[in-house]
Chain A
Amino acid sequence: MMKKRNVVLGLGLAAALALTGCSSGGGSADGGGSSGEAVKGGTLHVLATTDFSHLDPAQGWDGGVNNFYRLIYRQLTTFAGGDTDDPTEIVPDLATDLGTPNEDNTEWTFTLKDDIFFQDGTEITSEDVRFGVERSLDPDIAVGSPYAKILLEGADDYEGVYKDGHLDSIETPDDKTIVFHLNQPYADFGSAVAQPVYTPFPVDGDVTTTSIDKQPISSGPYVVSEYKPGSTIVLERNEYWEPDSDEVRKAYPDSFVWTLGLDNSTIDERMIADQGDDKNAISGIILASSLSRIQEPSIQERTLEGLKGCTTYLALNTTKEPLNDLKVRQAISYAIDKKSVQTATGGPALTDIANTMLPPTVKGHQDFDLYPSENSEGDPEKAKELLKEAGYEDGFELSLDMRAVPVTQAQAESIQESLAKANIDVKLNVVDTAKYWQIIGTPSQQTDAAIAGWCPDWPTGATFLPPLFEGSQIFDQGNSNIAQFDNEEVNERMAEIRKMTDVDEANKAWGELDKQILESAPAVPLTWEKAVTVTGSNIANAHLHEGYSGGIDYTVVGLKSVDE
């Protein structure tokens, strides 16, 4: 739920990026030359600036590392491959299906497939899945996905398998069957078990809390054969992985080599130059300053573009005067010139304008604009009218929390300018980047408004709206409901949607709730940033995956041809 910290740091980067042309939303963005047929074999290189946060799936949890985990780990379910029509659809992975719930969705049973093995050839059993989850709940490493802790009965005060023994709410009646007892009805549990914390580890494999981060034990198509933190990661094939047991992973290359710690501009330079092994390379999102250099048709052919699936927004602290007045918040929603925020973020090449909290990549997303203005340039007159009704005819002073990052700074300044036209005097409160999330996540320290961002844990409203707008999610520290929005009707509606047994119906309801929330204007959606990346000329079947912050899906990418 609180994916905030890493994710939004990511957003800061995201904000520096993107490209021209293509319309948004296209999930498996086909970039001409990169979409050809891939062959088996060869070594695929990945050029990256930083190391992954953790090799231990109990600890790592962000778009980039989750994407990587799919090469070495499997969970009960997972996202479909980036080369399918709907990559954000959840499909069975180790399990035969998406799980069978009881009547009220509080008890879920999964059956494991045959021919699933760890890297040493031992078969993966339900006990191993249970062990993996129990291990991940140890407070010392439980910094990854919280979807075991918040859903499993008794997980709240459980201290992990090493201290507390087994967790009673996970049962393993036989080697192939695993049953989860939840503390609440949860219709979308089939998606929750795709989270990295549901990765199995051998119950009698000398696994400790800290060992996996150094020596991962693979259940996927590759094993980690070399790991030098901060420098290189080499993956080789896991000979015990059975392709027939896996409908998602194509695992084309024989090996993957990550070169870590490269300078961002050097990566762009190498991708554009396309020399030697770099022909077989992919990388992350390019720098805004490199945009003009990839406009050549030969480079455009190997450029991919898509939405990252996150929203940057302005949170309005609903507990502070005068922001506790609905009319004032609506006035701000009208007044903000989103066009200029878009320009500040790098222009249409880098980002789309957001009018809803849920980005178009989220299932059930509804398109609407409650506070329209011409060309999205803001409507200060309408804002002034509303302020007059609210009794703030002469305007007021507003303090805006922001990070000392160039993009955020530019966004804040454009917000400042557009609100000035409605007589709202914005004072920028520049906060040190390292302290930013700590400060705006502490209600006693945040000021009136803040620029923040959110990426969903998987693309549904359920992992998007509650963390940001549910009353019970307001905490003294580590708070993600930065608007401190506590609306009885919205809270009730969230509880109702959670009880829905039909996931599609629930997704639709979340989309509608987005509108209901924005009617109260606790936040102003600003931008949806894009992911733009250039691949090597020998790369095939490269597809951006919205489930992984717009990164290239590692499980389906391969080489066009392999030198013998």
Chain B
Amino acid sequence: MLFYILKRVAAGAIVLFLITVFTYTVFFVLSPDPAYMICGKTCTPDRIADIHEKLGLDKPFWEQIWIFISGLFVGREYGEGVNAVHCTAPCLGYSFQTSQSVFEMIVQRLPVSATLAVGAAVLWLLAGIGGGLIGAVKKGTWWDRGIMVVALSGISLPNYFVALALQYILVVKLKWLPFPTAVPFADDPLQWFQAYIMPWFVLAFMYAAMYTRLVRANVIDTLGQGFIRTARAKGLDPNIVMGKHALRPALTPALTLFGMDFAALLGGALITETVFGLNGVGKLTADSITQNDQPVIMAVTLLAAALVVVANIVVDLLYSVLDPRVRVKAQ
């Protein structure tokens, strides 16, 4: 088992390294010169050369990558003398546009994205698994059809539309909620809840739809298998047959999907955060793209990639917990 974990972690590290090289190439070699964005309005060729030197952009490509990667572990220094800027490890770069270390910027935004992701995940798992189960058990009834129609609309309606429509109805027309302003939970629990309930719902609506369909199909599939017939035949409580024998194997594909979706959400729900004015990682990404703040764009890209890689490893390990068949193979 330990060997298996190590193998997966090593593979993950290689993937991340390749992604680092790739994003670095895209952002620093192929995009507009970041020096121009830092240089300001009194830009001279000399000044641009200075900035290149300070950012290390005058160095050979592989050396730049090496400095970037070593910065992750030991931090790095931009410039020298009195105006040197120190970026402590893990240094994901330094944004000269905001005078902040990129890691610090992401850490500030992460709680918002995490709150958003966790809350939405709870909602969509409840709705998705519940809806899928009901659909499967009551297959062909109006229950089933009703749930599938809702699920279909969740998949097909773009979430910016759902977000704007929801905000218009609940806030502008009915005045049940104020316009969302995110605050930490500890500051004002009510306002916190009021700010997040709409975005949670919007994200959950979109994701739950996929899970409902997936779980429904899997449960129906499992229910038709031999071991379920055996379980029923030996007189097992139908609830146990459902909960333990039918649902568990039906959940494994949903878990794979969940790992990816949840990780991606932690890396920022760009549209939902933008519409509801939540300053999470997604909003940071959007802002950095508009301002062409390349160290930030690169770091959030890496973060999103890293989260997905990590989520994949975690999911694979959880697999063996959920499904004994995989456990054997892993060992």
- CB A67 to nearest CB in B, in angstroms, measures 18
Bound-complex Cα distance A265 to B167 (A)? 12
Closest chain B residue to A209, Cβ basis? B83
A172 within 8 A of B: no
- CB A135 to nearest CB in B, in angstroms, measures 11
Interface residues of B in 177-232 (CB under 8 A from A): 178-179, 181
A502 within 8 A of B: no
B40 touches A138 (CB 8 A): no
Bound-complex Cα distance A46 to B233 (A)? 68
Q: Interface residues of A toward B: which range?
A: 35 or more
A266 touches B40 (CB 8 A): no
- CB B197 to nearest CB in A, in angstroms, measures 16
Closest chain A residue to B289, Cβ basis? A434
Bound-complex Cα distance A138 to B50 (A)? 13
Given contacts A266-B275, A438-B32, contact A228 B42 (CB under 8 A): no
Closest chain B residue to A54, Cβ basis? B99
Collect the chain A residues with CB atoms within 8 Å of residue B108's CB: 228-231
A139 touches B43 (CB 8 A): no
A163 touches B43 (CB 8 A): no
Collect the chain B residues with CB atoms within 8 Å of residue A160's CB: 83
Q: What sequence of 0s and 1s flags, for each residue 342-373 of chain A, a beta carbon within 8 Å of any chain B beta carbon?
A: 00000000000000000000000000000000
Interface residues of A in 135-188 (CB under 8 A from B): 138-140, 142-144, 146, 149-150, 160, 162-163
- CB B174 to nearest CB in A, in angstroms, measures 12
- CB A194 to nearest CB in B, in angstroms, measures 17
B40 touches A275 (CB 8 A): no
A499 within 8 A of B: no
B137 within 8 A of A: no
A195 within 8 A of B: no
Collect the chain B residues with CB atoms within 8 Å of residue A432's CB: 32
Collect the chain B residues with CB atoms within 8 Å of residue A53's CB: 97
Collect the chain A residues with CB atoms within 8 Å of residue B287's CB: 50-51, 230, 261
B50 touches A139 (CB 8 A): yes
B105 within 8 A of A: yes
- CB B113 to nearest CB in A, in angstroms, measures 13
B42 touches A1 (CB 8 A): yes
* Segment with Cβ contacts to B, from A2-10, A294-302, A421-429: A2-10
Collect the chain A residues with CB atoms within 8 Å of residue B20's CB: none
Interface residues of A in 103-141 (CB under 8 A from B): 138-140
- CB A162 to nearest CB in B, in angstroms, measures 4
Interface residues contributed by chain B, number (CB under 8 Å): 49
Closest chain A residue to B54, Cβ basis? A140
* Segment with Cβ contacts to B, from A25-33, A245-253, A307-315, A475-483: A475-483
Q: What sequence of 0s and 1s flags, for each residue 21-42 of chain B, a beta carbon within 8 Å of any chain A beta carbon?
A: 0000000000111001011111
B99 touches A210 (CB 8 A): yes
B40 touches A142 (CB 8 A): yes
A-B contact count (CB 8 A): 123
Bound-complex Cα distance A143 to B32 (A)? 19
Bound-complex Cα distance A475 to B39 (A)? 15
Closest chain B residue to A436, Cβ basis? B32
A477 touches B40 (CB 8 A): no
- CB A428 to nearest CB in B, in angstroms, measures 20
Collect the chain A residues with CB atoms within 8 Å of residue B235's CB: none
Bound-complex Cα distance A476 to B47 (A)? 13
B98 within 8 A of A: yes
Interface residues of B in 251-302 (CB under 8 A from A): 274-279, 283-284, 287, 290-292
B172 within 8 A of A: yes
Collect the chain B residues with CB atoms within 8 Å of residue A273's CB: 171-172, 179
Bound-complex Cα distance A263 to B54 (A)? 34
B67 within 8 A of A: no
Collect the chain B residues with CB atoms within 8 Å of residue A2's CB: 41-43
Bound-complex Cα distance A208 to B86 (A)? 14
Bound-complex Cα distance A229 to B105 (A)? 8
Collect the chain A residues with CB atoms within 8 Å of residue B31's CB: 434
Bound-complex Cα distance A150 to B42 (A)? 10
Bound-complex Cα distance A275 to B290 (A)? 30
Closest chain A residue to B104, Cβ basis? A229
Q: What sequence of 0s and 1s flags, for each residue 263-306 of chain A, a beta carbon within 8 Å of any chain B beta carbon?
A: 10110011001011010000000000000000000000000000
Bound-complex Cα distance A426 to B213 (A)? 53
B59 within 8 A of A: no
Collect the chain A residues with CB atoms within 8 Å of residue B38's CB: 143
Q: What sequence of 0s and 1s flags, for each residue 67-87 of chain B, a beta carbon within 8 Å of any chain A beta carbon?
A: 000000000000101110100
B41 touches A6 (CB 8 A): yes
B175 within 8 A of A: yes
Bound-complex Cα distance A59 to B277 (A)? 27
Collect the chain A residues with CB atoms within 8 Å of residue B109's CB: 230
Closest chain B residue to A439, Cβ basis? B32
B42 touches A269 (CB 8 A): no
B32 touches A5 (CB 8 A): no
Collect the chain B residues with CB atoms within 8 Å of residue A229's CB: 98, 100, 105, 108
- CB A189 to nearest CB in B, in angstroms, measures 18
Bound-complex Cα distance A3 to B43 (A)? 11
Q: What sequence of 0s and 1s flags, for each residue 474-511 of chain A, a beta carbon within 8 Å of any chain B beta carbon?
A: 01111000000000000000000000000000000000
B181 touches A259 (CB 8 A): yes
Given contacts A230-B287, A261-B283, A434-B32, contact A477 B45 (CB under 8 A): yes
B48 within 8 A of A: yes
Closest chain B residue to A213, Cβ basis? B99
B44 within 8 A of A: yes
- CB A239 to nearest CB in B, in angstroms, measures 25
Given contacts A3-B41, A214-B99, A478-B43, contact A275 B48 (CB under 8 A): no
Collect the chain B residues with CB atoms within 8 Å of residue A6's CB: 41
Collect the chain A residues with CB atoms within 8 Å of residue B100's CB: 229
Bound-complex Cα distance A51 to B179 (A)? 19
Collect the chain A residues with CB atoms within 8 Å of residue B97's CB: 53
- CB A381 to nearest CB in B, in angstroms, measures 42
Bound-complex Cα distance A142 to B179 (A)? 39
- CB A53 to nearest CB in B, in angstroms, measures 8
Collect the chain A residues with CB atoms within 8 Å of residue B79's CB: 140
Bound-complex Cα distance A1 to B283 (A)? 32
Collect the chain A residues with CB atoms within 8 Å of residue B164's CB: 265
A222 within 8 A of B: no
A61 within 8 A of B: yes
Closest chain B residue to A53, Cβ basis? B97
Bound-complex Cα distance A278 to B277 (A)? 15
B167 touches A266 (CB 8 A): yes
Closest chain B residue to A56, Cβ basis? B99
Q: Which one, A149, A266, A269, A275, contacts B175 given CB within 8 A?
A: A275
Bound-complex Cα distance A13 to B31 (A)? 23
9 residue pairs of the A-B complex, CB under 8 angstroms, read: A2-B43, A56-B99, A140-B54, A210-B83, A230-B105, A230-B284, A262-B277, A266-B275, A269-B168
Q: Can you name 5 extra interface pairs (CB under 8 A) apart from A143-B41, A160-B83?
A: A1-B41, A140-B83, A163-B83, A266-B276, A275-B178
- CB-based closest 8 A-B pairs: A143-B40, A478-B43, A2-B41, A262-B277, A146-B42, A213-B99, A162-B82, A231-B279
